Amino acid sequence: MKLIREEIESVKFLVETTKSGKKSLYIEGVFLQGEIKNRNGRMYPMETLRREVSRYNEAHVQAGRALGELGHPDGPTVNLDRVSHKIVSLKESGSNFVGKAKILNTPMGKIASSLIEEGVKLGVSSRGIGSLRTTKEGTNIVGDDFMLATAADIVADPSAPDAFVEGIMEGKEWVWEGGILREKYAEQTKRRINTLVDQKVLEEHKLNLFNDFLNNL
């Protein structure tokens, strides 16, 4: 499965005040788009998104642990030391899924708040893993094995008018192994090296193993 990220810039930043006078900063807007070929040449079937959003809402949003990071993590897991916000809702609206997230009082949340207050243009980026199937027309259809890591990370958006990718680790594949997401080829290479007990055999195979690893990045 590939790590897939899509950026969307059309989000709003809202300040809400409670009765006690406490102010909270929120992000609100389209977090996910379905049934449309985006600038990355990918298309998410609505049934795939609907199923995964339902799972994500139940397992993460409703449980109060739908977290997102500031910036672009290089893997499919959420790093707690980089968490900047908590997603509080994610609802279907036409072919989109509209989300709302609260900026948290964490180190990264404080940085995000400062950037917003200073007028820095920010967007959101969904992050997940899944397989891709290419059609004859060249569209990459996201498979029904798609799983969301987070509906929204906060990212700097330099130019795009709608959804685009900041980065997809195209060559890296992620697999479930013992309940843990692992980077496929890194783990395979490590295991193969560990099986080469004899030092002479190891030396003979080391370069080939390394070349195989690089070719799969």
Could you list the active site residues?
72, 125
Amino acid identity, position 69 = E
Question: Are β-strands 122-130 and 2-8 bridged in parallel, bridged antiparallel, or unpaired?
Answer: antiparallel
Alpha helices in the chain (DSSP H): 46-56, 107-117, 184-195, 199-215
The pair phi, psi for residue 131, each rounded to 5°, is -90, 160
Closest by Cα among 8, 209, 20 to 124: 8
Q: How far apart are CA 192 and CA 158, in angstroms?
A: 42
- The DSSP output letter for 121 is -
The pair phi, psi for residue 157, each rounded to 5°, is -115, 105
Question: Are β-strands 67-69 and 147-156 bridged in parallel, bridged antiparallel, or unpaired?
Answer: unpaired
The pair phi, psi for residue 171, each rounded to 5°, is -85, -10
Amino acid identity, position 53 = V
